Amino acid sequence: MKNIKYYFVICLITLLASCSSSDDDSGEANNDTIIGKWQIDQRFNDGVEESLSDCFKTTTIEFTSDNRFISTLMDISTSTNNCEVALVRNATWTKISDGVYDITFTDGPSSGTTVQYTYVFENNNRMSRDDEILSIKTYYTRL
């Protein structure tokens, strides 16, 4: 009788361990092409390429595997004349469909605001984003 109880407990533990859910989306974000740190390398305003300073070209956006989004704007400081962080914005990101992402800001004056961006991947190391309202197209290179 003792052996039957022991066998039953082992079977129950094995059964419960094998019934873990594989329907969660937690792994999907971890494999998304957008995950990584991206640096601005080119920008067009109304179809005309802007001349970007070397400092501004160090501006980055980062999509983390835990769905955080960090935007770091770099600019020349008027007081020190050095390239410095001008603004850091924190947000969360959610994939809506291929190339379409919701960015919900978690700090600053637009905290709680969600914007939707479409990113077009030219390859695994370069992508672009169109801002149709401002008529700006920005290209990023993966770091």
Distance CA 44, CA 124 (A): 21
Domains, the chain, with CATH or none? 25-142 (2.40.128.280)
pLDDT one-digit tens code per residue, 54-94: 999 999 999 999 999 999 999 999 999 999 999 999 999 99
pLDDT one-digit tens code per residue, 1-46: 443 333 333 433 333 333 434 444 444 547 899 999 999 999 999 9
**Alpha-carbon distances, residue 20 vs 11, 14, 31 (angstroms):** 15, 11, 20
Distance CA 80, CA 32 (A): 39
pLDDT score for 132:
77
pLDDT one-digit tens code per residue, 102-132: 999 999 888 999 999 999 999 889 999 998 7
In sequence order, the 6+-apart residues with CB closer than 8 A to the CB of 93 are 34, 63, 67, 68, 69, 101, 102, 103, 104
Q: 70 is written with which tokens?
A: 């960090």
